[in-house]
Amino acid sequence: MRHLTALLLTAALWAVSVVGAPGAAHAYRYVRPGMPPERVAVISDSYTNGTNFGGQGPRSWTAQAGRNLDAWGVPIAADVAAEGRAGYVVRGDHGSIFLDLTRRAVRPDDALVVFFGSRNDQGVDLMQLSGMAHDAFAQARATAPGAKLLVIGPPWPTADVPPAILQIRDVLGMQAGMAGATFVDPIAERWFVDRPDLIATDGVHPTDAGHDYLAGLIAPRIRSELPTR
């Protein structure tokens, strides 16, 4: 897992920026020319940050999801705070946990805050994980009281999921429910199961194709959480 990156991608109606030390859809919405994009914050780890195996810069799932949403008439401006090896409890390559990344990325005018991960919290005390997830979600609520929360649990590349990952999933699902967030369970949905072509040779990180796949899964979830205009 690599360092926190900084990226700004802009197009006519959508933008994705990485905050530095950040079923296929068919329905479309008309967006008036000049309409400001919805603000979205994304808090995550190297599954979003990208690695040497794939997903860096414009190949990241966040950048590709932005392009998908723009094509559907749903422009967004996303602040992405993602740090390799980071989790809700475990500190990443630059010492951040998800609470730190939340403080860095979330803005008062955000319409949606997305949390994605993290398998990096394997082995931590579950009560501590529960408390730190609560704090991250509460921070997002306090900073952006009008925003919806979308919490995506940790994915796993095979059907043989370690008990520690299932425990992380269960804790996050519980805290997401308590926070009034929408919870997505990649394990139950078998996101990467039987798709070794989407995972790098390290057996962990998604390739460029894997990031494209993630964009196809997550962009419709983002769209469904944004207000109708």
- Among the options 17, 44, 46, 130, which is catalytic? 46
Give 102's contacts (C-beta < 8 A, 6+ positions apart): 41, 43, 81, 113, 136, 139, 140, 143
202 is catalytic: yes
205 is catalytic: yes
Kindly calculate the radius of gyration of the chain based on its CA atoms and give it in whole angstroms. Answer: 16
C-alpha distance from residue 101 to each of 22, 34, 80, 81, 163 (Å) = 8, 30, 9, 6, 27
Q: CA-CA distance, 5 to 38, in Å (whole number)?
A: 22
| Pairing assessment for the beta strands 148-152 and 182-184 based on DSSP bridges | parallel
- Among the options 110, 121, 205, 212, which is catalytic? 205
Q: CA-CA distance, 50 to 177, in Å (whole number)?
A: 28
In single-letter form, the type of residue at position 5 comes to T
The alpha carbon of 86 is separated from its chain's Cα centroid by a whole number of angstroms, namely: 13
- Among the options 109, 125, 197, 202, which is catalytic? 202
46 is catalytic: yes
Q: Which residues are the active-site residues?
A: 46, 202, 205
